[in-house]
Structures are given as structure tokens and as C-alpha cells.
Structure 1
Amino acid sequence: MKLKTIFNKQVNRPIEGVIKADANDEVSLSIELEEYVLTNEVEKRLEDFLEAYNNYTGVNGVWISGFFGSGKSHLLKMLALLLENRYVKTVPVIESFLPKCQDNKILQGNLKKAITIPAQSILFNIDQKADVTSKTEFDALLSVFFKVFNEACGYYGKQGYIAQFEKDLDSREVYGDFKIAYEKGSGKPWQRGREQVLLEKKNIAVAYAEITGETVEDSKGILDQYRQDYNLSIEGFAKEVKAFINKQSPNFRLNFFVDEVGQYIAENVKLMTNLQTIAESLATKCQGRAWVIVTAQEDMEKVLGEMGNHQTKDFSKIQDRFANRMKLTSRDVAEVIQKRLLMKNEEGIKLLAEIYERQKHNFSTLFKFTDGSHQYRNFQDKDHFVHCYPFIPYQFTLFQSAIRGLSQHNAFEGKHSSVGERSMLGVFQEVAISIEEQQIGRLATFDLMFQGIRSTLKSNIQSAIILAEDNLTNQFAVRLLKALFLVKYVEGFKANLPNLSILMLEEFEQDISELRNQVQEALSLLEQQTYIQRTGELYEYLTDEEKDIEQEIKNTEVEVSKVLEGLNTLIFDEIIKTSKIRNREGRQDYPYSRKIDGTLYRREHELSIQVITPFSGQHDQEKALQMENMGRDELLIILPSDVIAHRNKESVLTT
């Protein structure tokens, strides 16, 4: 029997690997709702969130984190639908979701309580809604929130001043009359006209004059005046949200579901503080009736950590505001793939159970990595085997580590150096499709994962593989090269002969000795052709090593304290060299204190040498430093800044 016959659903069916933050397509929503997998871990986190949502205690922020493909966007979308009590194809979303909770009565109860709270969900991907150049502006994040809020209210989102114009007309209860007057005069609906306001000034003035009683001449500059007076403020945004909420039913909530906010604000201190202030202002003004639920590829501590240790103290407020954390792990990814893609039919379960009984004693030998390599999860029992097959448990974790390493080394095209349009589910599906015509007993080899991500890889990073495909006749060697590429940046994986053989194992009954000979022959060929390099017993895929080293340096944040320690060694041990000052007349040596930017290194003595570096807050206050130094038995050295300082820093780093 062929592999494709054992699956509960066809593996080649359309599966949306990347869930988009759009809640308008009824057909897509129905499929996404049907295929959503509520994992055991997410179930627990969902309980905690709903408890906080149903019983507001001051925290209105939720931070959903997880590596790409872990299902965070899918979860975000399901929450948006559930809390709004949305209907999809005339069926309440809650009715389709409750069976996924199985016997968890607490979660079911929390969900039922949550949907009794009237709410509206504003779901959006922040990168898609943001203007191309707006991210560099100080109010970039706020402008996106204003944009989606205006659109949800029925106003023009792309230009805030036009939305303000519409709001003012609405508040005077003449907005509907204006739209009628505009369409009568221009022959087109206002929804089209507001996109071309520069060409429609006359028609706008005529319509405005008609509904207000002003002259057409006085009305011509109305939108210019709005553009001139328009400004953004977080407080103003919170007030508008509050005003909108107050017009709704009692206890109504307006919830913002923001996808991929972590990548948008990463490494931008201003955007991070703006997010915190927006959530805080909504909490203050709306008293729990406006929530901000966001997703990020990393947990908050990681995002803050990448900004620098000296800055993390400034973000205690955002951690408090987003105290509700929902972290999706690699185990969640594996469970989603198993339940959405790899579920087996009754015949498949029966056949695989027989294979399990024959092979279960060999698993520890077949899939155990050697020589200090990181050990990955193996098949736990029969059910685990049935759920994973034709994949091996280590592949879920190892592939995720491979993608993370490649992403950190800037291997991918597109924004945020991430896979973007690919997901773990999409890659595993592509592998399953590629071997579905094989006989039962065939295993998915690790090299097959490469095809699922190659379209998103930069051409230079995979140049060796492209060259090998064009020039090598040994196809097994090309496949092995792809496996070596995937594990290149995986910490803890030893790419030696035994471990690489595990990655290339195709069948349970395969001759291991013959396989190792095949791998060794391929490795020798690849090394001879300079596709890989060998260090002892380890093999490594070759890229531009100088670029790799440069990227490593860029990825390494050097703390000022470490730089000063390096300067201490450089100045006192390598330049001055001596630890004492000689009095030539008295022929006597005096020890001295070492100081850099006011910090004492080693012991204190009567005499001292102090070096002021460009890192000091007083570096540009030379006269003040001279005045402070008068009367001290101290030699003061002020290092130059700018180009020379940068060279000094580089030399310290090199040292």
C-alpha cells in the first residue's frame, strides 16, 4: 500500500499554511475554523486568558508569542471571532469551537461567559496596514491604530484628516446628507471621491455648502483646513475609542487583535513605548472595555533583551500591561501538524501498529544522535508513532532550530529575516506530498525539508546547492548537502558521519552499514569539490565565511562595561605596561590607581591615572573635568571621540 492511502484526509488538499489577519472571507473562515487545532498547552493558556478577560482586574494586554508556524496567528483569529460571537455561514463560531475543548468544562464555561459580553473585534496585520515609510516616524504605531479604528467606524482610514472631517459631519448628523449631495454633484459615491480629494475639491465644496448653508467659495478650503489642523495623540485616540464604546450597549468591548506586532516594534524603543502607552491609555480611559491582543515571534523578554540590557529597565510598565502571556512552543507546532495533516484512517492505524510492534526495540538505536550531540525526543509509544509517521519526532524540533538559526544569520528574503509566506505546516505538507506515492514503511528524510523553504532563501546563501544540482551526478550527495545546509547553524548538533546517516535514513529495514558507506562517499565528494569543509570528524556546509563572521559580530551586543574592561587591559597593560611610576630624582617607585570614567580598577593608591572615554557622560565637559581634577594627585587623560574613538572601540573588540 502507498503512503497516501493511510491518511484520514488527503495530504495534498489545500491547507492555508499561513493564516492571514482578515476576517471577511466566509469560505476561508469556515475552513480555518474547522481545521483549527486546540493543543493541550494552548488549552491551559486559554483558560488563564479567559479568566482575566471575564474578570477584568486592570490588565488589558495579551502577548501571544511563538516561532513561525506555531499557530499564533490562527489562535489570534479564532479569539477575534469568538469574543465577537461571530457567525460563519449562519452558524455561531462558539458551536464549532466548543467540541475542540473536549471534556474541559472550565474552558467551555469561560468561553460561554466570554461571548455573553457584547464586543467588536478589530483584527489586522500591523505591517500590512502600516504605510511603507511610516515606521520611521515617531507616531507610526499610533497612526496604524487610528487607521483601523476609523475603518471599523466606517470612516476613511488612509487619511486621518478626512476621517476627522467625516466624524465632525456625523456628530452634526449631516454626514449622510453630505454623501447624497456629493454623489448628486459628482456622479460618483463619496467612498470613491474621498480617495481623490485633490481632484474633487470643487465637488466637495459644493456638497459641503449645500448641507451647511455656507457659500461655495468659503467651502473650497475646508479639507485644507482639516489637513492643517489635524494631529495625532495617544490621549486623543483613547478618548475617541471611549466615545465610540459609550455609544454601544452596556458592558460593550472594543478589542484590537494585532498580528506580528513583535517584528514591527523590534529594536525600536519609541515604537515599544508607544505600544505600552496605547494599551495603558485605553485601560485608563475605557476601564477594561478595550483590550489589545498582539502576536510576536518571540516572547516579550526576548524582544526587550534584543534592545539591550541598559534599556530593559524602561519597559517594566509594558510587561505589567501585557501580563497575560500565551507562549506557543515547538510541542504545539508538532501537535498541530499531527492533528491537521497526519491523522490516520482506521486501516492506517492498524498497519502502523504492526510496524510499531516490529520496530519499537530498534528506535533507540536508529534515531539516537552520538558524540555529545543534543538528544531529541524519540517515539514514546504506539499512539505517538502513529501520529508522527512518516516523520520522526526529532525532525519537528530540529527543523525549527534550523529555521531559527538560518533566520538569525539573515538567510531569508523579505521583512524581519523570517520565512514569511512559509510555515512549519506548509513545509511538512510539501514533504508528505513528495513521498505519498512511496510504500508504507518509507520515512521522510531530513533533506526533504529544504525544498519547502528554498523559495524564501536568499540566492547567495544557497549558491553551493544550486551549483551542486547543476554539476554533480551523485544525487545522494546533493541531498546530503541540503541536510548539511539545514543543520549548519543548529547549536548542539554534531554533523558527523553517524548523525548525518540518521538524517538520511529512508526505511526502518535499511542496511545501516551500507547507508553509512553511502554517506561517507558523498561527504568525500562534497569535501573534494569544496562544497563542505571537514574539521576533525565534523562536516560543515560552506558559505561566505567572512560574511558569516561579520553577521555574528553584528548580532553580538557588547555592553559598555565590557568595553571599559577591554580599555583597561589595552591602556594599562599593553600601552603603559608598568604598574608603578618612578621618581627619577629619588629613584623610588610609586604604585598608582587605575581609573576609567570614575570606576576604580584594582587597588586604590595615593597617585592615580584616570582615563575619560567617549562613553562617559562628562566626556564633552573638558573644563569641568579640569576643575574637578585640580588639587588631586592624578593624571587625567581624555580620549578623543568620533573616528578615533570608534577605532579604539574596534581595537578593544578585536583584542
Structure 2
Amino acid sequence: MRLQSIYKSDINRDINGVIKVAQDDEQSIVQELSEYIITRELRRHFNTFLNHYERSLEQPTDKIGVWISGFFGSGKSHFLKMLSYLLANKTVGGKKAVQYFSDKFDDPMMFAQLENCVKVPTETILFNIDSKSPLTKDKTAILRVFAKVFYEHQGFYGNDLKVAKLEQFIAKSGKTEQFRECFERINGGTWEESRDSFAFFEDDIVEAMSEALDMSETASRNWFNGEEEIELSIEQLVKEIREYIDSKGRDYRLMFMIDEVGQYIGSDSDLMLNLQTIVEEIGTKCGGRVWVMVTSQEAIDSITKISGDDFSKIQGRFNTRLSLSSSSVDEVIKKRILAKTDTAEQVLSLQYEKNNQVLKNLFTFNNAVLDLKGYSGEGEFIETYPFVPYQFRLMQNVLAEIRKHGNSGKHLSGGERSMLSGFQEAAQAIQDRDEYALVPFYLFYDTVHTFLESSI
């Protein structure tokens, strides 16, 4: 029997191996929601998060920080993205996001709890911090990122505070449409297209401001040429966030969901302090209606190089800490890629009966490291075939080391190969062989060599 025909789902289908936070076209979202696997470990994390979140719906709280950590490939960005789809509960592919999960939890109570949490009107702002970061990364960088995404979320121009503040002022006066129409009539181009190079359109903007906002030309020109740098304090930004959620109604929730914070902060204690103060301020001023969720390669303990007191403060801000381990990756690969048809299971069961002694001898190592092991029994053989259990662990270590040693490995968001695509490609490489074939470890080289640097 050819290996290509042993899998339940087509082994050559297109799988989104690396989850990118910015990838939000409908087709990708439908695939991510329908193929998302809730492993035993993830079930525990969903449970922890939903318990904390549900409590905040009933009574105000300042414990609004969620820190999701896990090694490369453990699925933390995917988990964050799923929470963002679920909490916002938008309609995708003709049904609500939460409906894709109706058969994913084995506990109906937990699904009911999820439904209860997503009833609340919620907006989520999901982004990768590196792509939104200002060019100069000083100690207020995280505050500037928060301001930028918050203004963009409202439709303002987040890249320049001066323009964003003008748009905010116009919106508060209720004259956004009027101003945009005036500008387009005078300039010929739309305001959205022109605002990123606003410095070149002084006359047009001044004229539009005078006409739409009833300002004198002198006042408009003074604003335009004002050299004063617009400074933004954490307190002021949080006040604006508070006003925004109040304007949306009492039950409304807003989520800041930030990918790869740990990598961005590195060992910079100023940035960590900046993040801590923002979360603290949001917690006290917004009473549990605005949450901050972040992902990080490292657990919160290993990222802070900060002395005693400050460290416990930061831990106190992120009360919900979820640590994703690598074990769930194996489970996801087995269910998404390696699930077998009934016929294949019978064939493999016979294979194992005939050859289990041979397999035991092949995969018994002298002085073995505990997690490098062969098949524990027939069930595991059927589940992992044509791979060997130790390859999951080993492959993860390889990818982690590549990231550590290569420059291009640090911020690979587009070119990297994940465990998922690695295993899929290795399985494709031997799909024409029969049921006596196993995947040799060197086949994984083909999946990673494209982003190895020559020095490595």
C-alpha cells in the first residue's frame, strides 16, 4: 500500500505551517478555525483563561494581563490568534467564530463558558510588536506602539501623533466627513491616501481646516507649523482608551493582543518597565474592561533580568500565565497530518505485530537521554508512523538552535519552516514508498536548509 493513501486528509494539501498574526484573509481564517486542534494541554489553558476572564465580566478587576509563553513552534501565536477570533466573534465563512469550536471541547460546560464569554461585545487589536515598532527603540517604544495601534483601530493615522490628534479633534467635533470632503475637493486626492505625506500639502490642509472647522487661516497655519513635539504620557493614553470604551457602552470590552513581546523587550529593563506601567494603569483605570495579552518565547521568569522588587511587580501585573510546552506540537501533528484511515490502521497494526522486536532493537540507545525513545506500543506506532517518536523532540531542538545561532533566525516571520510544515514535507518525500518505509532524520534537512546561513 502506498504511503500517500494511508492518511485521512490529503498529505499534499496546502497547510499554513507558520501562523502569522498579520495574515487575516477570510480563507486563512476559515482554515485556521476549522483545523485548530485543542490538545489536552490547550484545554487546560483555555480553562484557566476563561475562568479569569468570566470573573472579570461579573466584577471589576485590575488583573488584566495574560502572559503566554512557549518555545518556538509551541503554538502560542496560534493560541493568541484563536482567542482574538473567538472573543471578537466575527462572522467568518458564513458562521460565527465560536461555532467552529462547538465540537472541539470534550466538555460541554467549557463550551458553554466560552459562549458566555463571547456574548459580550468585544473588539480585539491583534498585532506583532516588531512590525508596529517605531524606528527609534527608546524606553517609551512600547507606549508608542500602544498609541499607534489604538489610533489605527479608530481609523486615525497612527504613524504620526500630530495627524492622529488632529483627526481625533475633528472626529470629536463630528466633522470628519465634512473635513474629508473639503480636502478631497481642494486636493484632488483622498485624505486617507494623502495623510502619510501631509507635510507636502500645507495649503490644502490649512484651507480644508479653515472651511470645515471654522478656524481662521492663521490658527490653521499655526497648528500646521507648530514645532512643539506632541508628547504622550501613559496616563493620557489610558484616559483616551477609557473614554473610548465608555462611549461604546457599559459591557464593551477591548483587547490588546501582542505577539512576540519577549523577543522585542530582550533584556531591556526600560521596555519591561514601560510595559508594566501601561498594564498597571490600564488595570486600575479600566476595571477589567480592557485586557493586555502578550506572547513570549520565554516564561516571564527568564525574561526579566531585573532585580527583586521590580520583578515581582511585573509578575503581579500578568496574573494569568500560560506556558505552552512542546508536547502539544506532537499531538497537533498527529491529528492534523498523520491521522490514518481505518484500512491503514489495520495494515499498520499487522505490521507492528510482525516487526515489533525489530523496531525495539532499532530504537534502543545506549546511555539514552530520556526523551529520545522509540515506539512504546502498537497505538503509538500507528499514530506516529512513518515517523519515530523521538524525532518530534529532536526536530524542535534543532529549530530552536537554528534560531539561536543564525541572524536571520531571530525574526523569521515569513521564511521560517515550522514543525508542522517540516513533518508534512518529510512525509511527502516518501509518499510513493510502501508501508515498510520510515522517515530518516536527514529528510528534515531539506525543510530547513533554505534558511540556514552559509556560516552554519
Give the TM-score category using the shorter length: over 0.9
8 Å Cα contact 1:379/1:392 also seen in 2: yes
Q: Which residue pairs with 2:195 in the alignment?
A: 194
Shift of 1:166: 0.5
Q: Which amino acid aligns with 1:391?
A: F
Give yes or no for the alignment of 1:279 onto 2:282: no
Q: Which amino acid aligns with 1:350?
A: Q
In structure 1, C-alpha distance between the alignment counterparts of 2:397 and 2:410, rounded to whole Å:
20
8 Å Cα contact 2:179/2:213 also seen in 1: no
Matches within 5 A, 1:233-632: 233-304=233-304, 307=305, 311-371=307-367, 373-408=369-404, 410-416=405-411, 421-461=416-456
Shift of 1:398: 1.4
Q: Which residue pairs with 1:562 in the alignment?
A: none
Q: Which residue pairs with 2:182 in the alignment?
A: 181
In structure 2, C-alpha distance between the alignment counterparts of 1:44 and 1:113, rounded to whole Å:
18
Please say which of residues 148-157 and 364-373 is displaced more in the overlay. Answer: 364-373
In structure 1, C-alpha distance between the alignment counterparts of 2:11 and 2:450, rounded to whole Å:
21
Cα pair distance change 1:365/1:419, threshold 3 Å: farther
CA RMSD across the alignment: 1.9
In structure 2, C-alpha distance between the alignment counterparts of 1:266 and 1:420, rounded to whole Å:
22
**Structure 1, residues 315-337: CA drift from partner, whole Å, max 9, x if none?**
21111111212211111010111
Q: Which residue pairs with 1:129 in the alignment?
A: 132
Q: Which amino acid aligns with 2:215?
A: E
Shift of 1:363: 3.7
In structure 1, C-alpha distance between the alignment counterparts of 2:17 and 2:277, rounded to whole Å:
33
Cα pair distance change 1:248/1:147, threshold 3 Å: same
For structure 2, the residue ranges without an aligned partner over 5 or more in a row are none
Q: Which residue pairs with 1:88 in the alignment?
A: 92
Shift of 1:451: 1.7
Q: Which residue pairs with 1:152 in the alignment?
A: 153
Q: Which amino acid aligns with 1:166?
A: E
In structure 2, C-alpha distance between the alignment counterparts of 1:382 and 1:147, rounded to whole Å:
54
TM-score, scaled to structure 2? 0.94
Shift of 1:69: 1.6
Shift of 1:313: 4.1
Q: Secondary structure at the match of 2:267?
A: coil
Q: Which residue pairs with 1:161 in the alignment?
A: 162
Please say which of residues 266-275 and 410-419 is displaced more in the overlay. Answer: 410-419
Q: Which amino acid aligns with 1:134?
A: T
Cα pair distance change 1:107/1:361, threshold 3 Å: farther
Q: Which residue pairs with 1:551 in the alignment?
A: none
In structure 2, C-alpha distance between the alignment counterparts of 1:106 and 1:134, rounded to whole Å:
48
8 Å Cα contact 1:349/1:386 also seen in 2: yes
8 Å Cα contact 1:162/1:223 also seen in 2: no
Q: Which residue pairs with 2:121 in the alignment?
A: 118
Identity over the aligned pairs, expressed in percent? 38
8 Å Cα contact 2:20/2:413 also seen in 1: no
Q: Which amino acid aligns with 2:362?
A: L
Q: Which amino acid aligns with 1:81?
A: Y
8 Å Cα contact 2:3/2:434 also seen in 1: yes
Give yes or no for the alignment of 1:44 onto 2:44: yes
Q: Which residue pairs with 1:33 in the alignment?
A: 33
Shift of 1:259: 0.8
Shift of 1:362: 3.9
**Structure 1, residues 552-593: CA drift from partner, whole Å, max 9, x if none?**
xxxxxxxxxxxxxxxxxxxxxxxxxxxxxxxxxxxxxxxxxx
8 Å Cα contact 2:402/2:409 also seen in 1: no
Q: Secondary structure at the match of 1:124?
A: strand
Q: Which amino acid aligns with 2:93?
A: K
Shift of 1:378: 3.3
**Structure 1, residues 251-277: CA drift from partner, whole Å, max 9, x if none?**
211001111111111111111111111
Q: Which amino acid aligns with 2:433?
A: Q
In structure 2, C-alpha distance between the alignment counterparts of 1:386 and 1:205, rounded to whole Å:
72
Q: Which amino acid aligns with 2:277?
A: T
Shift of 1:375: 4.5
Shift of 1:374: 4.3
Q: Which amino acid aligns with 2:145?
A: V
Shift of 1:377: 4.0
In structure 1, C-alpha distance between the alignment counterparts of 2:357 and 2:334, rounded to whole Å:
23
In structure 2, C-alpha distance between the alignment counterparts of 1:417 and 1:289, rounded to whole Å:
33
For the pair shown, which has the larger CA radius of gyration, 1 or 2? Answer: 1
Q: Secondary structure at the match of 1:197?
A: helix
Q: Which amino acid aligns with 2:331?
A: E
Cα pair distance change 1:377/1:100, threshold 3 Å: farther
Give yes or no for the alignment of 1:170 onto 2:166: no
Shift of 1:364: 3.3
**Structure 1, residues 450-497: CA drift from partner, whole Å, max 9, x if none?**
221112211111xxxxxxxxxxxxxxxxxxxxxxxxxxxxxxxxxxxx
**Structure 1, residues 334-382: CA drift from partner, whole Å, max 9, x if none?**
0111111111122222211211222234443221221354452432333
Q: Which residue pairs with 2:228 in the alignment?
A: 228
**Structure 1, residues 106-135: CA drift from partner, whole Å, max 9, x if none?**
32122011111211110111111113x232
Shift of 1:55: 0.2
In structure 2, C-alpha distance between the alignment counterparts of 1:260 and 1:423, rounded to whole Å:
16
8 Å Cα contact 1:342/1:387 also seen in 2: yes
Give yes or no for the alignment of 1:105 onto 2:113: no
8 Å Cα contact 1:407/1:418 also seen in 2: no
In structure 1, C-alpha distance between the alignment counterparts of 2:190 and 2:403, rounded to whole Å:
47
In structure 2, C-alpha distance between the alignment counterparts of 1:220 and 1:231, rounded to whole Å:
20
In structure 1, C-alpha distance between the alignment counterparts of 2:414 and 2:166, rounded to whole Å:
41
Shift of 1:287: 0.5
8 Å Cα contact 1:369/1:375 also seen in 2: no
Shift of 1:229: 4.5
Q: Which amino acid aligns with 2:136?
A: S
Q: Secondary structure at the match of 1:446?
A: coil
Q: Secondary structure at the match of 2:102?
A: helix
Shift of 1:402: 2.5
Answer 1 or 2: higher relative contact order, Cα 8 Å, separation at least 6: 2
Q: Secondary structure at the match of 1:445?
A: coil
* Matched pairs, number: 452
8 Å Cα contact 2:73/2:326 also seen in 1: no
In structure 2, C-alpha distance between the alignment counterparts of 1:361 and 1:250, rounded to whole Å:
66
TM-score, scaled to structure 1? 0.66
In structure 2, C-alpha distance between the alignment counterparts of 1:383 and 1:419, rounded to whole Å:
36
In structure 2, C-alpha distance between the alignment counterparts of 1:459 and 1:23, rounded to whole Å:
30
Give yes or no for the alignment of 1:63 onto 2:67: yes
In structure 2, C-alpha distance between the alignment counterparts of 1:328 and 1:419, rounded to whole Å:
22
Please say which of residues 21-30 and 323-332 is displaced more in the overlay. Answer: 21-30
Q: Which amino acid aligns with 2:335?
A: K
**Structure 1, residues 387-444: CA drift from partner, whole Å, max 9, x if none?**
2111111011112122323433x13524358996221111111111111112222111
Cα pair distance change 1:331/1:270, threshold 3 Å: same
Q: Which residue pairs with 2:215 in the alignment?
A: 214
8 Å Cα contact 2:375/2:388 also seen in 1: yes
8 Å Cα contact 2:403/2:410 also seen in 1: no
In structure 2, C-alpha distance between the alignment counterparts of 1:237 and 1:390, rounded to whole Å:
54
